[in-house]
């Protein structure tokens, strides 16, 4: 399987054109294989959940908290769903034609790309000004939590070491999606100079052949990476033990018990 | 320009004697197979060594694919019928003379003797950037060399450019669309019939193909219904020279009049987009009007060019198309 596709320029030089579309199938396979493996592991492994008694004790001690704990503001939820919708349009318009479903996809693709880019810009400003910016990132402070999570995954009882607002898996996923999303958005904006849009005067010579090649390859790699990431995201959003998180992205709140069961009140104090 | 060499790269040659045998071969070899009709488009690609198929399926020995047959009040033309046979056939001459004119306008007598109607409608784009084998969009790359400020794009598209600005070069295609023809496409175990205008696809839908033919499929026949048999026809082609040249723009119309007013009209143009363009807005403007209604014809000419986006060097195609449409509606070359 080739990873990259090359062409020969009018000047006889080999130039990168894009990634091999075999990578799309590889990413799809990896995404599906991951979810099958994960689901199989959870079914068959000695995976442990937190003891209910631990949460009972916590809840009895914190009756001062409201029954509903606000988790996602309306603005954050709108951003999430607009971004999700644009991501689905982007992936479908990019990859259905490669999979053999032929339709006029280019305008839909760049229009959805602009929506995604605008929503990312909004999110950066919103998260920087109105949200706890650092709560979503991972760092050395998360090592105890990582250790507890791993122990529970391996079948041990491991109380304590809870996350702040976002579980460790969420934060790792966010890091991956930031890398892929920013790469695909930045390269996508550049690629708009190669097609006709109302926004730019078409100029395929804006960049040199090599730079264009790197731009297309980066866009393609980030795009196929997003296929696997989106499969994983949808899978976790639909898993029974994660539905409380998905519900909070719709309703904006979680229950007091969910808050105490899954979060460390020292690390996340709801506003 | 690519250098044409005398010796083609090696390929495995199959010469089936029936449609079924040809379809079996196409099914077996999938995207590795190249369908050879008259060879006039194919040999350029092969000699330039730009297309390097592993397998060539030569249809010249398939008798079922040849000939013009009466079919109800229309005709069915085998895809391997040569353009000369189309031009000379009495049924075509009697009922669908627009196709005769269009076929006769293609290339040169020698090429019409060898070239087939199936090949004429299925031929690839003639954009020289693409034919040179450079990695343009149509060739699977990520650039259109013809749509740049420096490009030579006098012959390219003024409509529906979606990354690629190549045009469809067929002369018979607009005539078939004007006649409401249907294309019979077969593959192993099945047949589908598509309207002529849907047989051609633009770059927005699939930038690497000009037609709806997928790997393993074969255009076997073209059916022309009797709807416009003996109607008032008009075909005109403008090219840089009168013989052996592709159209800069061509136009074909079929019109039925009743009491001097237009009862039915189909009109199409080629050389202006990646697929032959049926001018539906023109048909709508003229519906129920008289072809000698100067205001209506003027409005139709304007409707034909609405939305045109010429490139650096092909702005002349806009008035050319407008005037050709006006002439087609008036039925005369007098401006």
Give percent above pLDDT 90 in chain B.
Answer: 90
Cross-strand bridge partners of residue B252: B235, B268
What whole-number distance in Å separates Cα of residue B314 and Cα of residue A95? 34
For residue A187, give how far its alpha carbon lies from the nearest alpha carbon of chain B (Å): 13
For residue A14, give how far its alpha carbon lies from the nearest alpha carbon of chain B (Å): 10
pLDDT, position A56: 87
pLDDT, position B2: 55
Domain layout of chain A by residue ranges: 21-262
Give percent above pLDDT 90 in chain A.
Answer: 54
Size of interface A-B (CB pairs under 8 A): 58
Out of A12-26, B3-17, B117-131, give the one with best mean pLDDT. Answer: B117-131
Strands (E), chain A: 4-8, 14-19, 68-70, 253-255
For chain B, state the CA radius of gyration.
20
| pLDDT band, residue B138 (cuts 50/70/90) | very high
Among B135, B149, B201, select the one facing A8 at the smallest CB separation: B135
| pLDDT band, residue B6 (cuts 50/70/90) | low
pLDDT, position B288: 95
Q: Give the largest Cα separation in chain B, rounded.
A: 62
Whether B3 shows a pLDDT value over 90: the answer reads no
* Cβ within 8 Å, pair A104-B163: no
pLDDT in tens, A56-100: 888 888 888 999 999 999 999 999 999 999 999 999 999 999 888
Nearest residue to B57 via CA among B83, B79, B36, B81 = B36
Mean pLDDT of A236-256: 93
pLDDT, position B71: 95
Chain position carrying tokens 């800069």: B248
Chain centre to alpha carbon of residue B269: 10
Whether A159 shows a pLDDT value over 80: the answer reads no
pLDDT, position B335: 54
| pLDDT band, residue A48 (cuts 50/70/90) | low
Among B134, B148, B161, select the one facing A204 at the smallest CB separation: B148
Among A8, A106, A194, select the one facing B143 at the smallest CB separation: A194
Mean pLDDT of B293-312: 96
Mean pLDDT of A219-240: 94
What whole-number distance in Å separates Cα of residue B267 and Cα of residue B277? 9
Q: Please, are residues B165 and B157 in contact by the beta-carbon 8 Å criterion?
A: yes
Coil, helix or strand at residue B116: strand
Question: What sections of chain B are H helices per DSSP?
Answer: 19-29, 42-47, 83-88, 90-95, 97-105, 109-114, 117-122, 128-131, 172-178, 196-199, 280-286, 294-305, 317-330
Nearest residue to B220 via CA among B187, B196, B195, B189 = B187
What whole-number distance in Å separates Cα of residue B335 and Cα of residue B329? 11
pLDDT, position B175: 98
pLDDT in tens, A188-218: 999 999 888 898 888 888 999 999 999 999 9
Q: Please, are residues B254 and B104 in contact by the beta-carbon 8 Å criterion?
A: no
CATH number assigned to the domain covering A21-262: 1.20.950.20
pLDDT, position A160: 63
* Chain A nearest-CA residue for B149: A203
* Cβ within 8 Å, pair B140-A7: yes
- Residues from A contacting B (CB-CB < 8 Å) are 5, 7-10, 15, 17-18, 97, 102-107, 194-196, 202-205, 212, 216
What whole-number distance in Å separates Cα of residue B271 and Cα of residue B265? 21
Residues of B in contact with A10 (CB under 8 A): 129, 132, 134, 145
Mean pLDDT of B61-88: 97
In this structure, what token pair is assigned to residue B109?
């007598």
Top pLDDT among A105 and A48 is at: A105
Residues of A in contact with B143 (CB under 8 A): 194, 204, 212
Among B140, B142, B201, select the one facing A194 at the smallest CB separation: B142
Whether A253 shows a pLDDT value over 70: the answer reads yes
Residues of A in contact with B273 (CB under 8 A): none
* Cβ within 8 Å, pair B142-A8: no
For residue B201, give how far its alpha carbon lies from the nearest alpha carbon of chain A (Å): 10
| Mutation site for B-interface testing, chosen from A108, A109, A196, A219 by largest number of B Cβ within 10 Å | A196
Mean pLDDT of B315-321: 98
Give percent above pLDDT 70 in chain B.
Answer: 97
Nearest residue to B114 via CA among B181, B49, B39 = B39
Half-sphere exposure of A100 (CA within 13 A, CB side): 4
* Cβ within 8 Å, pair B134-A10: yes
Out of A125-134, B12-21, B326-335, give the one with best mean pLDDT. Answer: B12-21
* Cβ within 8 Å, pair B162-A216: no
Q: Please, are residues A52 and A258 in contact by the beta-carbon 8 Å criterion?
A: no
Pairing of strands B12-14, B55-58: parallel
- Residues from B contacting A (CB-CB < 8 Å) are 129, 132-135, 139-145, 147-149, 161-163, 201-202, 204-206, 309
CA-CA-CA-CA torsion sign (A187, A188, A193, A194): positive
Q: Please, are residues B267 and B296 in contact by the beta-carbon 8 Å criterion?
A: no
Pairing of strands B55-58, B33-36: parallel
Residues of A in contact with B145 (CB under 8 A): 10, 204
Contacts of B242 (CB under 8 A, 6+ apart): none
Pairing of strands A4-8, A14-19: antiparallel
Residues of B in contact with A18 (CB under 8 A): 142
Least confident among A50-54, B218-222, B315-319: A50-54
What whole-number distance in Å separates Cα of residue A153 and Cα of residue B213? 53
DSSP for A132-167 reads -GGGGS--GGGHHHHHHHHHHHTT--------SSS-
Contacts of B175 (CB under 8 A, 6+ apart): B98, B99, B101, B102, B103, B235, B252, B268
Contacts of B169 (CB under 8 A, 6+ apart): B123, B125, B126, B246, B247, B270, B271
Least confident among A123-137, B85-99, B168-182, B275-289: A123-137
Q: Give the largest Cα separation in chain A, rounded.
A: 76
* Chain B nearest-CA residue for A191: B142
Among A104, A204, A205, select the one facing B162 at the smallest CB separation: A104
* Cβ within 8 Å, pair B206-A104: no
Among A102, A202, A205, select the one facing B206 at the smallest CB separation: A102
Top pLDDT among A135 and A30 is at: A30
pLDDT in tens, A168-196: 888 899 999 999 999 999 999 999 998 88
């Amino acid at each position: 399987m080739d990873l990259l596709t090359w062409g020969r320029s009018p000047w006889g030089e080999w130039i990168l054109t894009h990634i091999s579309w075999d990578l799309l199938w590889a990413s799809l396979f990896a995404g599906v294989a991951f979810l099958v493996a994960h689901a199989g592991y959870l079914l068959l492994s000695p995976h442990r959940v937190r003891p209910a008694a631990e949460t009972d004790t916590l809840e009895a001690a914190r009756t001062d908290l409201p029954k509903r704990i606000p988790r996602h503001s309306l603005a954050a939820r709108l951003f999430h769903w607009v971004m999700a919708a644009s991501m689905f349009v982007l992936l479908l318009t990019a990859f259905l034609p490669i999979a053999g479903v032929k339709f006029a996809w280019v305008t839909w693709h760049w229009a959805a790309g602009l929506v995604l880019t605008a929503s990312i810009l909004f999110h950066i400003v919103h998260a920087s000004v109105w949200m706890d910016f650092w709560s979503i990132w991972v760092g050395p402070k998360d090592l105890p939590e990582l250790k507890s999570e791993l122990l529970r995954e391996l079948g041990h009882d491991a109380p304590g070491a809870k996350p702040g607002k976002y579980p460790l898996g969420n934060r790792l996923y966010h890091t991956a999606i930031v890398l892929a999303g920013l790469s695909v958005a930045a390269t996508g904006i550049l690629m708009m100079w190669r097609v006709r849009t109302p926004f730019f005067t078409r100029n395929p010579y804006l960049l040199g052949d090599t730079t264009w090649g790197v731009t297309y390859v980066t866009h393609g790699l980030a795009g196929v990476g997003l296929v696997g990431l989106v499969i994983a995201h949808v899978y976790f959003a639909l898993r029974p033990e994660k539905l409380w998180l998905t519900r909070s992205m719709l309703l904006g709140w979680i229950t007091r018990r969910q808050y105490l069961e899954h979060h460390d009140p020292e690390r996340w104090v709801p506003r | 320009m690519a250098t044409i060499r005398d010796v083609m790269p090696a390929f495995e040659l199959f010469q089936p004697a029936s449609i079924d045998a040809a379809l079996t071969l196409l099914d077996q070899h999938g995207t590795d197979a190249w369908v050879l009709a008259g060879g006039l488009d194919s040999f350029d690609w092969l000699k330039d060594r730009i297309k390097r198929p592993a397998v060539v399926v030569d249809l010249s020995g398939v008798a079922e694919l040849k000939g013009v047959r009466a079919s109800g009040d229309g005709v069915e033309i085998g895809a391997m019928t040569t353009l000369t046979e189309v031009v000379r056939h009495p049924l075509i001459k009697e009922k669908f003379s627009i196709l005769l004119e269009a076929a006769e306008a293609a290339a040169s007598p020698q090429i019409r003797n060898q070239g087939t109607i199936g090949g004429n409608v299925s031929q690839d784009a003639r954009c020289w950037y693409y034919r040179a084998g450079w990695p343009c969009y149509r060739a699977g790359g990520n650039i259109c060399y013809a749509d740049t400020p420096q490009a030579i794009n006098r012959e390219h598209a003024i409509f529906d450019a979606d990354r690629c600005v190549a045009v469809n070069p067929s002369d018979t295609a607009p005539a078939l669309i004007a006649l409401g023809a249907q294309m019979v496409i077969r593959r192993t175990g099945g047949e589908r019939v598509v309207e002529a205008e849907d047989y051609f696809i633009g770059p927005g839908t699939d930038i690497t193909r000009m037609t709806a033919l997928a790997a393993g499929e074969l255009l076997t026949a073209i059916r022309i219904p009797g709807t416009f048999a003996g109607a008032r026809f008009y075909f005109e082609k403008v090219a840089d020279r009168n013989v052996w040249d592709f159209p800069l723009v061509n136009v074909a119309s079929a019109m039925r009049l009743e009491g001097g007013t237009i009862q039915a009209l189909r009109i199409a143009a080629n050389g202006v987009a990646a697929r032959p363009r049926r001018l539906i807005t023109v048909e709508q403007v003229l519906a129920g009007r008289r072809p000698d209604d100067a205001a209506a014809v003027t409005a139709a000419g304007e409707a034909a060019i609405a939305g045109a986006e010429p490139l650096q060097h092909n702005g002349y195609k806009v008035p050319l198309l407008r005037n050709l449409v006006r002439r087609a509606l008036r039925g005369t070359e007098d401006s």
